[in-house]
């Protein structure tokens, strides 16, 4: 049984990316590289903006959205869906305040 | 040896206690923990029994690695016929109970019957006693544990205990251990309450011999390094599970206002970083995280409740607790639309003390809030309580009323959503977000078909820990996914890195169902597995850890088969107790709102998403095929034969 070969999960460790966060817009998921200590970052791919927290010097994470940007983008998307679906579409009610 | 632990069958009606060895053949078929518990439940609960009657069984199970050096081998499964759903009830907690049970010589305690008066079971160094619990009955979760330690004169006694909510037969009452480790989602506490069983207390000094000690030490070191070096676990070690809520709320994957929305806007006060800050401040230390037995991740923040008008009103200022988890953020903030940090910390503390499922109570209160805002409930039914969304005070008040059953609405909601909707009437059932009679976790799966499929198929009802392929959101390259999902069983079907896709997802869900069952049989923590990251251990790693520590020589495929067999027993139990795939109460189908109401908040790509019903049904059919089930989700005769389950009813192999 003394099998020292790396398992799939162990071997995937080399693919970890440090110093980066993923854009939290799920279908974008682009990589963002905030400068050390930076507390806000914009996704170069989709324009979403995120507040950043540093777990340690090399490990940033998205703390949450920049609410204003997030709601603006959400409203734009709702308008777009409403326009596509016609004015009676339930989503046109602008549920995002 | 790790394999010489025993099972005790305790009949509370007669007082008879049978202690039996676990045959090696049964071990190899189910390993331990949840797998063996399913087998025991199938055999020791009477078909069709009243979950609150003496014919139901409640089973406490340690995993086969319990108390050993492999990381976080701390988990206990408690299984019963769920008083809320009438189907399988199964929960899992960490803490220190399972190791202590094993040091006392046992892996499983099966409790049947009903005691005439409150009792507790004391398990110690190979012996089992039934003792009078007169002085424990009525006590909160922590009071009861401290009292029994005093009574037994031993501060190291570990308990699986129920609280006041279980004594009142709240149908989603938990079994608890320590300050906050909750065996939720299973109704095991309620079953204990119905049996007049306050707790199982364990204390042991018996050795567990490691099969290959030198190699085990070497390998366990490597195993632990694999776990602690993962980014996700480093994050957990600082922020705890609230980091998951923070991430999910960022993109709009949180159910809020009972499913009307999918993001809690401006939720800064309860973001994980704020909780961390408050935890450090209230504990007066940087070292503000605690952990379960043998865990280096330490995901649980300690805290004291802040001095706020609301905390003062309920007399909770300065009360100590641990781990306002991801689920509590959803239950007391996301779902009812409240952003108060005090509401989170107080709600978490109350459910820990009453011993009740935070998800179920939070979802149930939020459902009542929607009924109130829609005029289906009025102040007449709420005893004057203003049950609108965002009313933090009302959430805290309702937790008390449900756990004490001291108002009409509290009493009705203690029965759970389906029974409550029968009493409330009107359109209340349509607004209930449940699967198999259990309300959902606070997450919103309308943008993630794979995660939605898990909800419908989870053996214990709507659930986030049964087969949820959470890594579907990581956008792993397909070749990486192929490596993960083709082991230990070859899979050459489609896979997609796009979480909004339906294609390839049934296999991922089927794979994760086996993965998490294996974890629960081993008795280790899910945060140390592929649940949260592709670089965390799974079948290949477990075969090694099992061999070095326990001495069982099993291939990854053997472990896969154990999981497949155990999942099949859980499914057979559910079928025996009335599960039918399209049944709106007990079926494997999503609440209708998943198919009809689109998401309205969050990241641009989430808005407008809902689940496509025909595609969902196709995914379910494919899942059934992968799992060796017929088109109705029933195991085929060939599958039963393959897993040696064809005679489960006719000749139950009772241990
Ligand atoms: S990660 Fe958390 S829940 Fe899991 S064993 Fe460690 S402390 Fe317990
Ligand atoms: Zn982006």
Percent of chain B with pLDDT over 90: 93
Taking only residues 521 to 540 of chain B, the set having a beta carbon closer than 8 angstroms to any beta carbon of chain A reads 530, 534-538, 540
Percent of chain B with pLDDT over 70: 99
- Judging by DSSP bridges, how do beta strands A40-42 and A49-56 pair with one another? antiparallel
- Cis peptide, bond prior to residue B488, ω within 30 of zero: yes
Task: Report chain A's terminal Cα–Cα distance, integer Å.
Answer: 61
* Position in ligand 1 atom list of the atom nearest CA B292: 8
CB nearest A12 (choices: B251, B480, B607):
B480
A10 at B interface, C-beta within 8 A: yes
pLDDT value at position B653?
Answer: 57
What is the CB neighbour count within 10 angstroms for residue B567? Answer: 26
pLDDT value at position A96?
Answer: 46
Across the interface, whether the CB atoms of A91 and B600 are under 8 A apart is answered yes
pLDDT band at B452 (very low <50, low <70, confident <90, very high): very high
Phi, psi of A23 (to 5 degrees): -60, 135
Q: What is the CA radius of gyration of chain A?
A: 19
pLDDT value at position A97?
Answer: 44
Average model confidence (pLDDT) for chain B?
Answer: 96
pLDDT at A87 over 70: no
Across the interface, whether the CB atoms of A8 and B487 are under 8 A apart is answered yes
Q: How far apart are CA B3 and CA B333, in angstroms?
A: 45
- DSSP designation for B629: B
Chains A, B: CB contacts within 8 A come to: 132
Q: How far apart are CA A68 and CA A46, in angstroms?
A: 15
A50 at B interface, C-beta within 8 A: yes
pLDDT at A90 over 70: no
- Interior/surface letters B294-331, b for 16+ CB within 10 angstroms, e for the rest: bbebbbbbbbbbbebebbeebebbebebbbbbbbbbbb
Ligand positioned closest to the Cα atom of B180: 1
Ligand positioned closest to the Cα atom of A47: 2
Q: How far apart are CA B226 and CA B529, in angstroms?
A: 10
CA distance B604 to chain A (A): 5
Q: What is the pLDDT of residues A1-59, one digit of tens each?
A: 556 789 989 988 888 888 899 999 888 888 999 999 999 999 999 889 999 999 999 99
Q: How far apart are CA A35 and CA B420, in angstroms?
A: 53
B97 at A interface, C-beta within 8 A: no
Question: Residue range A50-71: average pLDDT?
Answer: 94
Q: What is the pLDDT of residues B346-362, one digit of tens each?
A: 999 999 999 999 999 99
CB nearest B475 (choices: A29, A59, A73):
A29
Nearest CA in chain B to A72: B604
Which residue(s) pair with B199 in the sheet?
A: B120, B161
Q: What is the pLDDT of residues B361-373, one digit of tens each?
A: 999 999 999 999 9
Q: Determine the Cα angle at B47 with ends B45 and B53, to 5°.
A: 60
Q: What's the gap in Å between B383 CA and the centre of ligand 2?
A: 48
Query: Which residues approach ligand 1 with their CB closer than 6 A?
Result: B 72, 74, 94, 291-292, 295, 297-300, 525, 527
What is the CB neighbour count within 10 angstroms for residue B281? Answer: 13
pLDDT value at position B633?
Answer: 98
Q: How far apart are CA B183 and CA B195, in angstroms?
A: 17
> Nearest Cα to B381, choosing from B372, B393, B370?
B372
Q: Is the pTM of this model over 0.80?
A: yes
Across the interface, whether the CB atoms of B600 and A96 are under 8 A apart is answered yes
Residues 6+ apart with CB under 8 A from B604: A25, A46, A48, A73, A74, A76, A77
Sequential DSSP letters for B320-351: EEE---HHHHIIIIITTT---HHHHHHHHHHH
What SS3 class is residue B33? helix
Q: What is the pLDDT of residues B387-417, one digit of tens each?
A: 999 999 999 999 999 999 999 999 999 999 9
pLDDT value at position B412?
Answer: 98
Q: How far apart are CA B433 and CA B414, in angstroms?
A: 16
Q: What is the pLDDT of residues B194-242, one digit of tens each?
A: 999 999 999 999 999 999 999 999 999 998 999 999 999 999 999 999 9
CA distance B435 to chain A (A): 25
Measured torsion, CA atoms of residues B138, B162, B198, B103, in degrees rounded to the nearest 10? -140
Q: What is the ipTM of this complex?
A: 0.88
Across the interface, whether the CB atoms of B239 and A55 are under 8 A apart is answered yes
Q: What's the gap in Å between A24 CA and the centre of ligand 2?
A: 7
Question: Residue range B546-571: average pLDDT?
Answer: 97
- DSSP designation for A6: P
Q: What is the pLDDT of residues B288-300, one digit of tens each?
A: 999 999 999 999 9
Q: How far apart are CA B588 and CA B259, in angstroms?
A: 19
* Position in ligand 1 atom list of the atom nearest CA B71: 5
Q: How far apart are CA B139 and CA B486, in angstroms?
A: 50
Residues 6+ apart with CB under 8 A from B393: B310, B313
Ligand positioned closest to the Cα atom of B74: 1
Tokens of B296: 């280096």
A21 at B interface, C-beta within 8 A: no
> Nearest Cα to B124, choosing from B156, B163, B150, B161?
B156
pLDDT at B96 over 60: yes
Q: What is the pLDDT of residues B124-162, one digit of tens each?
A: 999 999 999 999 999 999 999 999 999 999 999 999 999
Taking only residues 191 to 220 of chain B, the set having a beta carbon closer than 8 angstroms to any beta carbon of chain A reads 215
Taking only residues 535 to 564 of chain B, the set having a beta carbon closer than 8 angstroms to any beta carbon of chain A reads 535-538, 540-541, 544, 547-548, 553
Mutate to test the interface with A, among B608, B609, B610 (most CBs of A within 10 A): B608
Ligand positioned closest to the Cα atom of B234: 1
Q: What's the gap in Å between B288 CA and the centre of ligand 1?
A: 14
pLDDT value at position B482?
Answer: 96
B246 at A interface, C-beta within 8 A: yes
pLDDT value at position A27?
Answer: 80
A79 at B interface, C-beta within 8 A: no
Phi, psi of B242 (to 5 degrees): -55, -20
Across the interface, whether the CB atoms of A27 and B535 are under 8 A apart is answered no
Q: Determine the Cα angle at B348 with ends B513 and B373, to 5°.
A: 90
Task: Please tell me the residue having the least CA distance from ligand 1 atom 7.
Answer: B291
């Amino acid at each position: 049984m003394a099998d020292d070969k790396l398992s799939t999960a162990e071997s995937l460790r080399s693919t970890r990316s440090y110093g980066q966060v993923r854009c939290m817009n799920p279908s974008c998921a682009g990589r963002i590289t905030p400068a050390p200590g930076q507390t806000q970052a914009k996704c170069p791919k989709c324009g979403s903006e995120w507040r950043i927290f540093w777990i340690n010097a090399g490990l940033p994470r998205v703390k949450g959205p920049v609410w204003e940007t997030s709601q603006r983008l959400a409203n734009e998307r709702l308008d777009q869906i409403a326009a596509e679906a016609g004015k009676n579409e339930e989503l046109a009610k602008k549920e995002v305040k | 040896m790790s394999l010489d632990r025993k099972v005790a069958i305790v009949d509370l009606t007669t007082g008879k206690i049978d202690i039996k060895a676990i045959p090696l053949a049964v071990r190899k078929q189910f390993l331990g923990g949840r797998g063996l518990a399913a087998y025991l439940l199938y055999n020791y609960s009477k078909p069709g029994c009243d979950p609150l009657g003496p014919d139901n069984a409640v089973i406490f199970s340690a995993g086969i690695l319990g108390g050993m050096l492999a990381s976080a081998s701390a988990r206990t499964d408690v299984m019963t016929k769920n008083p809320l759903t009438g189907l399988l009830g199964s929960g899992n907690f960490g803490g220190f109970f399972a190791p202590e049970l094993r040091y006392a010589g046992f892996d499983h305690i099966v409790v049947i019957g009903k005691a005439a008066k409150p009792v507790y079971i004391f398990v110690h160094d190979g012996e089992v006693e039934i003792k009078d619990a007169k002085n424990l009955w009525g006590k909160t979760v922590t009071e009861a544990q401290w009292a029994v330690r005093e009574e037994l004169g031993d501060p190291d006694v570990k308990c699986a205990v129920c609280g006041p909510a279980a004594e009142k037969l709240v149908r989603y009452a938990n079994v608890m251990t320590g300050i906050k480790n909750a065996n939720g989602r299973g109704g095991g506490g309620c079953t204990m309450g119905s049996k007049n069983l306050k707790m199982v207390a364990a204390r042991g000094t018996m050795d567990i011999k490691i099969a290959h000690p030198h190699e085990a030490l070497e390998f366990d070191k490597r195993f632990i390094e694999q776990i602690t070096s993962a980014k996700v676990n480093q994050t957990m070690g600082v922020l705890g599970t609230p980091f998951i809520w923070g991430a999910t709320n960022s993109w709009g994957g949180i159910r809020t206002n009972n499913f009307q929305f999918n993001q809690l806007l401006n939720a800064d006060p309860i973001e994980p970083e704020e909780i961390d800050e408050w935890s450090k401040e209230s504990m007066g230390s940087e070292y503000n995280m605690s952990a379960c037995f043998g865990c280096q991740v330490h995901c649980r923040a300690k805290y004291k409740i802040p001095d706020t008008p609301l905390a003062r009103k309920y007399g909770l200022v300065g009360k100590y607790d641990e781990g306002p988890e991801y689920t509590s953020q959803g239950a007391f903030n996301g779902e009812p639309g409240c952003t108060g940090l005090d509401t989170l910390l107080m709600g978490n503390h109350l459910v820990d003390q009453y011993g009740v499922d935070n998800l179920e109570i939070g979802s149930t209160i939020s459902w009542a809030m929607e009924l109130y805002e829609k005029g289906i409930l009025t102040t007449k039914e709420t005893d004057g309580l203003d049950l609108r969304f965002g009313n933090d005070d009302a959430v805290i008040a309702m937790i008390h009323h449900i756990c004490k059953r001291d108002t009409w609405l509290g009493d009705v909601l203690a029965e759970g959503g389906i029974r409550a909707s029968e009493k409330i009437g009107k359109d209340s059932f349509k607004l209930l977000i449940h699967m198999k009679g259990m309300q959902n976790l606070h997450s919103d799966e309308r943008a993630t078909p794979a995660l939605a499929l898990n909800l419908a198929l989870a053996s214990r009802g709507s659930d986030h820990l049964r087969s949820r392929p959470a890594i579907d959101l990581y956008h792993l390259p397909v070749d990486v996914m192929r490596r993960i999902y083709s082991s230990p069983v070859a899979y050459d079907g489609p896979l997609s890195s796009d979480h909004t896709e339906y294609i390839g997802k049934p296999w991922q869900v089927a794979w994760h169902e086996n993965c998490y069952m294996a974890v629960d049989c081993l008795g280790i923590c899910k945060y140390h597995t592929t649940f949260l990251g592709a670089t965390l251990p799974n079948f290949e790693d477990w075969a090694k850890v099992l061999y070095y520590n326990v001495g069982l020589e099993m291939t990854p495929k053997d472990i896969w088969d154990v999981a497949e067999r155990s999942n099949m027993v859980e499914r057979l139990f559910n079928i025996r107790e009335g599960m039918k795939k399209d049944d709106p109460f007990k079926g494997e189908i999503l609440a209708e709102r998943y198919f009809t109401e689109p998401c309205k908040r969050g990241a641009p790509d989430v808005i407008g998403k809902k689940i496509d019903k025909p595609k969902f049904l196709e995914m379910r059919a494919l899942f059934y095929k992968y799992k060796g089930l017929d088109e109705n989700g029933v195991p085929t005769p060939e599958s039963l034969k393959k897993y040696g389950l064809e005679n489960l009813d006719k000749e139950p192999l009772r241990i």
